[in-house]
Structure 1
Amino acid sequence: MALTAGDVGNVENLPAPQDAPVRLVPPPALERASAEDMQLTHLGLRPVEEGAYRAALERPSWTVADFARRIGMSLAKTEELVGRLAELDLVHTSGDRSRLRPVNPQLGLTALIARREAEMVSSWHELERSRLAAANLAADFDSANRTHIDGALDVAHGPEAVRARIAALVSQAKTEVVSMMLSGSGYVDPVAMPRRGDLASPAPGVRFRTVAMDRARQDPLTLRHLNNSVTDGVEVRTAPEVPMSALVVDATVAVFPLAPATTRHRVGAVVLRLPSVVITTVELFERVWTEATPLDQAAGGRDAPDERERELLALMLAGCTDESAAGKLDVSVRTVRRLVADLMERLGSRSRFQAGALAAERGWISAQMLRESTESR
């Protein structure tokens, strides 16, 4: 148990309830725990929240009044703290909020870790968009003042100029060309990988790789472009989300599309040779490429579960038996056991619970699904 000194009240004279003894921890012990035991701050928990959660785990359920005595806080502050833990899905409260039940750490913290990972990925994508915005701003300055800055940046305006610039760069490639494209739903990415016929005798042995959005598979125009790229010898994959549009040649030069607002809504592209920008773009591409699915395979790959399998994984993580899961999914127990065995094999797990935890880490199970599965046990 660990709370900050400001949150610890005078608990010595508070009577414990008659129906269940409440163990009180002296303030010095709480202060020592605050300094030594707080390990969940990176998941978004303040020390006082982590301390309260640790205390809640001492019993399967509490009245809020009992819990207030346990942690040495006023009833009002305890109710506020319990509300915060409920928002984090670390405790469940009764309808009138007079009682609370702690969630198993393997369930609650796994979901919290998955949520935090999703937030970190989103933050990384926002950082990359900001980096691209900075490049657009630099290009806008260059367009208004000069057409070249120390050999590090140049700009092309208009679709023909952009295609010619990209074709010229790719034709000069010696080792590899990689690209991330956002084409789909009628949108054509201005810095998409060019067709082999547009290139002037590319060097032999150059590797070409491109990754597009999964939605591109549903857009006839984009899918035709991707299939043509495969015919040209390009390795093509798709991912649920591609954070930005970019093309990199030999890990030394990167091309980004210009925002329409900076080009009076004409197609435009900026070419950068700044090592920090190029290296970061390549690293981002490799992250997306590793998780992407080859074009000739179904999006999501074999491992991605369908909706019923997601529900079953949530029930597995909640500790439901095969019989209980079969009833909730309206299938036979035999079907549940077959699905469980298949999911465990696909996830490489040693137990049913571990399979559910791994699924949560991959983002296959939402917090809402976890909550509903736990409450329905």
Structure 2
Amino acid sequence: MSFSGTQGTQGTQGTQGTQGTQGTQGTQGTQGTQGTQGAGGSAGPYLSLALATTRDGISRQWTGVGGRAIDNATPGGWDAFRKMQDGPQAAVLDYELGCLAGLDISTAQKGIVKARAAGGADAVILTRPVYDQAFVDAQMSLIRSYADLRMDRLAEIQVQTGDIVSFFGGLGYLDRVATKRSLELIWAVLRMVGQMEMRLKMHFDFPRPIQTSSDVQPVIQTPGHGSWPSGHATEAFAVAQVFSALQAGGPVDALDAVTARSHPMRLAARIATNRTIAGVHYPSDSMAGAVLGLGIGEMVINWLSGQAETPVRQFNGTGFVDDFSLETLEGILPSAGMVSFVDPPSPVLSNLWQVAKDEWVR
């Protein structure tokens, strides 16, 4: 995986520096040990030697002819996917989801998520704030107020630098065996939005709060990339959207879920706000991330479930100096139109969605 190398160094960066890649964590353990994992435990040179001597001791005379019949009349597809290890499965899902959307960053102040499966139509549109004194004064005042909550939220802040999925596991049953496909879908979406958010951060190159004033003094290491949009907000709201659909057994309108103040949306908002409390993000970052995450998460689920179209979500950060909240998000989120899908998802993705939904039927 493209992010595997950064996973190993997360701890030395304060972990939040590559939070955008956290979707790979669920499979990282198996990716790192593929080829060295024995059927009964950890492998190594000693096990290889033992296997070699065992073969010498029990093998019969063999001419090199295979003796088992293998039915491979219809190779590929879902059956082939199911037999793959976690790492290769993740690579397949990343490729398949990559067919859904891409980025248009040809304009300096804008970042647009293009729905490839909808003929390249605009699906999420973000416009960068102007980094001026009015923005700094308003947003830094909010960061100063939020700093009073640091001791109350410190445990959450620390854990969430590298893990947000466990918190959604507190809202509904998530288990590596019982809900295997649900977690695979969640992690795949996290990896997808992680790549997009990082490219947008590079594109917008927005200064972090600590670059504005040494009085911020964050309680965690400030990540080494741009502030806008917030990666944690993007990922938390993308997971909230997917999680909501899994619980409902089908697509959930993002605006409806935000308006209802559903548990997944309340959790996502808290995760996003914790980054402002920590001193590493402006509230504006969280608003942009929330719109981005909801828009992508909604598009993924609508596509996988066979919906004909998906809403366009947008946020113009120009002049936005308000606090981040679900109430404010509710006013920003209404659809700016609809885009129609022209290309269906692959059979692997369609099957993954169906099996993941079935895991929630009890």
- Structure that is richer in strand per residue: 1
TM-score (normalised: structure 2): 0.22
Larger helix fraction of residues? 2
Pick the structure with greater CA Rg.
Answer: 1
Q: Which gives a bigger RCO, structure 1 or 2 (Cα 8 Å, sep 6+)?
A: 2
